[in-house]
């Protein structure tokens, strides 16, 4: 019986604890007539499961984190902004993003009348 119980727990991953790293989210909300920037959101320390952003039916949560990289779980209609600042309305929404320490990514909502633009920076 003890062997069966030990076997059941061998595959379980140990709960990931907080990592002393920093992530910043800068949000810009826009509409046809105006846009405005919110105060940057600063998160430290980080651990798997942390919910970082939930706005306009778009979510960002920590899937895994280390001092070298972070994997973010995305929900909603977020895509990478095109190089020229436009939005690809036909792209499949991103489900996951991985950033190394020192990297940033710009994500936008796939909307036409009003939406969000968020810049996520992982400082590591």
For the whole model, what pTM was predicted? Answer: 0.83
Band (16; pLDDT cuts 50, 70, 90):
low
The pLDDT of 3-9, averaged and rounded, is 45
Asked whether 93 and 115 are in contact (CB, 8 A), the reply is no
pLDDT tens column, 37-80: 999 999 999 999 999 999 988 999 999 999 999 999 999 999 99
Choose between 9 and 100: higher pLDDT.
100
pLDDT the model gives residue 86: 86
Choose between 124 and 16: higher pLDDT.
124
How far is residue 46's CA from residue 67's CA, in Å, rounded to a whole number? 10
Average pLDDT value for the chain? 87
Is residue 9 scored above 50 in pLDDT?
no
Choose between 114 and 121: higher pLDDT.
121
How far is residue 92's CA from residue 49's CA, in Å, rounded to a whole number? 24
């Amino acid at each position: 019986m003890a062997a069966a119980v030990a076997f059941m727990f061998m595959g379980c991953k140990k709960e990931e604890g907080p990592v002393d790293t920093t992530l910043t989210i800068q949000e810009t909300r826009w509409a046809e007539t105006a846009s405005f920037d919110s105060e940057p959101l600063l998160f430290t320390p980080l651990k798997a499961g942390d919910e970082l952003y939930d706005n306009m039916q778009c979510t960002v949560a920590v899937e895994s984190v280390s001092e070298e990289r972070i994997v973010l779980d995305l929900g909603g209609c977020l895509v990478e902004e095109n190089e020229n600042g436009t939005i690809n309305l036909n792209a499949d929404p991103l489900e996951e993003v991985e950033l190394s320490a020192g990297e940033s990514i710009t994500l936008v909502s796939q909307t036409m009348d009003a939406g969000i633009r968020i810049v996520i920076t992982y400082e590591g």
